[in-house]
Amino acid sequence: MIRPVQFQKYGFLLFYLLLALAVVLRIYTFRPRTLPINTLLKFEATISSEVESRPMSQKIKVLNLRIYAPNYPKYKLGDRLIIEGKVDGEGNVFSPEITKIGERASIKANLNDFRDTILSRVSALLPSREAALVVGALIGVDRIPEDFKVQLIKTGTIHVVVVSGQNLMIVAGVFISLSKYLGRRLSLFFSCLAVLCYAFFTGFEPPVVRALIMVFTTTVALYLGRTSGALFSIFLSGSVILLIWPDALTTPSFLLTFAATLGIVTLGQMLSGFFSKVPVVGENAAVSLSAFIFTAPVILYFFGSISLLAPLVNILVLEAVFPIMLFGFLLFVTSVIFTPVAQIFAFLTYLPAHYFSAVVDFFSKFDVGYIKGFAGNLYLTIFLYVLVFGLMLIWRGERDVSRAK
């Protein structure tokens, strides 16, 4: 474990300056592989990421292109295709000619098949909204019905059902909380193992691996060290991620994970003292509120809308995530082995999942505190972060003064 205290003051500064310089150079010199746009194109490709199933089409990503094919025949990860179509100015290819010429076997493709099997078993036992919650939270499969997705985005709870840093933190947190019974080392070991398993089942997609690095280093640092150690880990892992995937800087998934983790480690720690007096949901409140405040500017920038009710909805649903994940996992296992037992776990999973879904449904009807229309406003994003950090510094200063008194 790297601790800043191990560095001499200037050595540490020099190290971080060099790292920052390397990151800037990497981003500046990075040239992603792209296919030409605004042209007729015929090319051969293997699908290397999950095909997104939409109501009226399926979306396949190949480098910088987004290919929208009719719903049938279904394509899947590992399929080798010849694609011919017109690429528009934004890299979209609508209704191209597609010929499947084979399948490329890989661990990723096999994992995808396995996830599909689990999905079909769970879908046969649970209603679609609840099934989407369970498979989303546990193996990151995005099969969320369109209207439910809109509600989840509106209430700021989408992170529970798509692969995200917060989701990984929940998995890690469950095992960390067992430290009283298992001991620090063993609980940390299981928490890392669980997070690794989670990433494995989600197919080690780059956003998952990035979230994994962030959460892994921060959890370990936070558990073993102090806030400053965790802060250092966040920036170190962020830099490593950008050195490997410079294009992550423009992806919402990385920025949201980074912002949420930073928020939980900094503001979350400050708020936890304040919320510790609140029974039952005190810790959740600190985590939810800090993650919300830090991710809000990024969400506004990329999606152009945010609900001020989001922290409240998150606090209300967060207690349900633990039983959803626990019983959902048992449902997965039993659905493959013995269906009658799976039906019992389906019922146990359904209850918290239905509660989650009902809370989201209820709060999505309110337009109170729903802010819209700031997409792409970089100045506003910067201003909001300056404001947050400024307020945090003032609060910290006041707290130190009152402590000194």
Partner 1 sequence: MQSKIFLTLSFIFILGGFSLIRQSSGQKIEEKFVFCDIGQGDGFVYITSGGSQIVFDSGPGVKITNCLDRIMPFGDRKIEAMLLTHPQQDHMQGQINVFENFQVERVFYTGVMASSQVFNEWLRLANAEKAQIVNLKRGDEVTAGAATFEVLWPPEEDEKVWKEEPPDDLNESSYVVRLDEGKFCAYLTGDVPKEIMALLVTKPCQLLKVGHHGSKTATDSFVVGKVLPKIAVIQVGANNRFGHPNGEALTALSQVGAKILRNDINGDIEVLFNAENGEIRYKTQKN
Residues that bind partner 1 (CB under 8 A): 55-56, 70-74, 120, 123-125, 127-129, 145-148, 177-178, 180-181, 280, 319-320, 322-323, 326, 343, 347-348, 350-352, 354-355
Rounded CA-CA distance 216/210 in Å is: 10
Q: Which is nearer to partner 1, 127 or 206 (CB)?
A: 127
Q: Which is nearer to partner 1, 205 or 361 (CB)?
A: 361
Q: Work out whether strand 58-62 and strand 370-372 pair parallel, antiparallel, or are unpaired.
A: unpaired
Question: Exposed, middle or buried, 118 (CB in 10 Å: 0-12/13-18/19+)?
Answer: buried
Q: 201: which residues sit within 8 A by CB, 6+ positions away?
A: 111, 114, 115, 138, 139, 140
Nearest approach, Cβ of 186 to partner 1 (angstroms)? 14
Report the 10 Å Cβ neighbour count for 136. Answer: 23
Q: Which residues are 93's β-sheet partners?
A: 67, 87
Nearest approach, Cβ of 255 to partner 1 (angstroms)? 31
Rounded CA-CA distance 131/128 in Å is: 5
The SS3 call for residue 346 is helix
Q: Which is nearer to partner 1, 37 or 182 (CB)?
A: 182
Q: 389: which residues sit within 8 A by CB, 6+ positions away?
A: none
Q: Which two tokens stand for residue 324?
A: 């959803």
Nearest approach, Cβ of 74 to partner 1 (angstroms)? 8
Q: Which is nearer to partner 1, 9 or 146 (CB)?
A: 146
Nearest approach, Cβ of 59 to partner 1 (angstroms)? 15
Nearest approach, Cβ of 299 to partner 1 (angstroms)? 26
Q: Which is nearer to partner 1, 44 or 147 (CB)?
A: 147
Nearest approach, Cβ of 404 to partner 1 (angstroms)? 35
Q: What amino acid is encoded at 404 in this protein?
A: A
Nearest approach, Cβ of 356 to partner 1 (angstroms)? 11
Nearest approach, Cβ of 73 to partner 1 (angstroms)? 6
Rounded CA-CA distance 202/147 in Å is: 24
Rounded CA-CA distance 118/333 in Å is: 9
Report the 10 Å Cβ neighbour count for 132. Answer: 25
Q: Which is nearer to partner 1, 28 or 181 (CB)?
A: 181
CB 349 within 8 A of CB 134: yes
Query: In the block, which residue shows the tokens 């509106």?
Result: 154
Q: What amino acid is encoded at 126 in this protein?
A: L
Task: Note the residue count of the chain.
Answer: 405
Q: Which is nearer to partner 1, 200 or 355 (CB)?
A: 355
Q: Which is nearer to partner 1, 174 or 270 (CB)?
A: 174
